[in-house]
Amino acid sequence: MRCSERAQILGQDSFLLSTRTVEIAITALGGMLGPVTFFPEDETPIRPYAVAPWAEEPVEPGTPAVIRALRGDWFCSAFGANEELYRGKQLPLHGETANGLWTELDRASTESESWLRLGIDLPLQGGRCESFTALYPGQSVIYQRHDLSGLVGPINPGHHATLKVPSREGSARLSFSRYAFVCSPSEPLERPGSGGYSALAVGMENPDLHAAAQADGSTTDLYRYPARFGYDDVVIICADTSNEFSWSAATVPNDRYAWFAIRNSTQLCSTLLWFSNGGRRYPPWNGRHTNVVGIEDATTFFAVGLAASCRRNSLNERGIRTYLTPDGEGRLSIPYIQGVARIPEGFDSVISIEPEFGSIRLIAKSGVSVQMSCDLEFLRTGCFPGFESKL
């Protein structure tokens, strides 16, 4: 991917973008970021994102586009199942942005940096969404901004990062910035009668994440993954919005890397964790989607959809925002940062991410730390230094 181009990647027509430190593909269908390779020129490159095992297989007619292309991270214009009509309209699973075709609007690439602008119309929600993706020299970081315009009514937006972690039990250690509330849904994610299986207890409120209750009465550590083979589950972690910024991380000590995402938590207020470890036995899943964790930063009521997120629910009754209201012209802009850091021996799990003069420092529970280039001002300004005159 040394030069910017377009190609068929794992069954999907994809836009390509690269620097010497990051190579990415973004699917035309659904605008999905994946596959992604960090440090592609190293002996051990890092490819943290999941790609569905059926990516190059035919799937049953009627399978949603978001499931056909399923991979990496994508932006949800209306996060969740959306089975319930909203204002008389049936939105697709995770919204129009995750199911429609994106078109290339503009791009540029130099020897060291690259950027790409894509767009998609949103006929059901009104208006349009444009995405901007930028890579900078020497940075193992992906900067994205999604600009929505002309929206009719509120929205429950989100990013939907899905990571494929090593199959060793507990190989990845999950961690999060300070949060205000954690709970599981009032109904299991999957039911045996429909060919799906869930393990966690329903209706948990502020559980000990090291010893969360399961339906069978046992407990499980939600900070360690993979776990609970044969089951798919979700919990939601609602950020403390007084944070300057909020972050989510997955550390893989044996493979010496940490993946992270950083956001403005007044825009993306919660993190829905989707533990997908073979619990869906129906097509096209067929029990094959394993060792995948969704770390999904969103403003939403679980993964139910826009209608449930916009009305009174158990989260917004607690003061936790579950939808956003665009400005008078239906505009909303959401910046987001994702990246990977190489970590040293003894770095066990991210406990803090601190700003440090145009960079960030990832600090481990063990006290070991690593510094890397990353521009957190992007979350405040939404600006891409060096590219603004071109965007």
What pLDDT is attached to residue 390? Answer: 52
Examine residue 389 and state whether it is found in any structural domain, yes or no.
no
End-to-end CA distance of the chain: 22
Q: Does the pLDDT of residue 346 top 70, yes or no? A: yes
Examine residue 251 and state whether it is found in any structural domain, yes or no.
yes
Length of the chain: 391
What pLDDT is attached to residue 4? Answer: 46
Q: Does the pLDDT of residue 391 top 60, yes or no? A: no
Examine residue 210 and state whether it is found in any structural domain, yes or no.
yes
Q: Tell me the pLDDT band of 385, cut-offs 50, 70 and 90.
A: confident
Q: Provide mean pLDDT across the span 9-33.
A: 97
Q: How many domains does the chain have?
A: 1
Which amino acid is located at 355 in the chain? Answer: P
What tens digit of pLDDT does each residue of 286-299 get? 999 999 999 999 99
Percentage of the chain exceeding pLDDT 90: 94
Examine residue 61 and state whether it is found in any structural domain, yes or no.
yes
Q: Provide mean pLDDT across the span 106-131.
A: 91
Cβ–Cβ < 8 Å for 42, 22: no
Q: Does the pLDDT of residue 1 top 60, yes or no? A: no
Q: Tell me the pLDDT band of 384, cut-offs 50, 70 and 90.
A: confident
Q: Provide mean pLDDT across the span 328-350.
A: 97
Examine residue 391 and state whether it is found in any structural domain, yes or no.
no
Which amino acid is located at 150 in the chain? Answer: G
Check which CATH number belongs to the domain holding 166 and give it.
2.70.98.10
Q: Does the pLDDT of residue 54 top 50, yes or no? A: yes
Examine residue 164 and state whether it is found in any structural domain, yes or no.
yes
Examine residue 278 and state whether it is found in any structural domain, yes or no.
yes
Q: Provide mean pLDDT across the span 200-210.
A: 97
Q: Provide mean pLDDT across the span 86-90.
A: 94
Q: What is the 3-state secondary structure (H, E, C) of the chain?
A: CCCCEEEEECCEEEEEEECCCEEEEEECECCCEEEEEECCCCCCCECCECECCCCCCCCCCCCCHHHHHCECECEECCCCCCCCCECCECCCCCCHHHCCECEEEEEEECCCCEEEEEEEECCCCCCEEEEEEEECCCCCEEEEEEEEECCCCCECCEECEEEECCCCCCCEEEEECCEEEEECCCCCCCCHHHCECCCECCCCECCCCCCEEECCCCEECCCEECCCCCEEEEEEEEECCCCCCEEEEEEEHHHCEEEEEEECCCCCCEEEEEEEECCECCCCCCCCCCCEEEEEEECCCCCCCHHHHHCCCCCHHHCCCCCECCCCCCCEEEEEEEEEEECCCCCCCEEEEEECCCEEEEEECCCCEEEEECCCHHHHHCCCCCCCCCC
Examine residue 390 and state whether it is found in any structural domain, yes or no.
no
Question: Domain range spanning residue 353?
Answer: 5-381
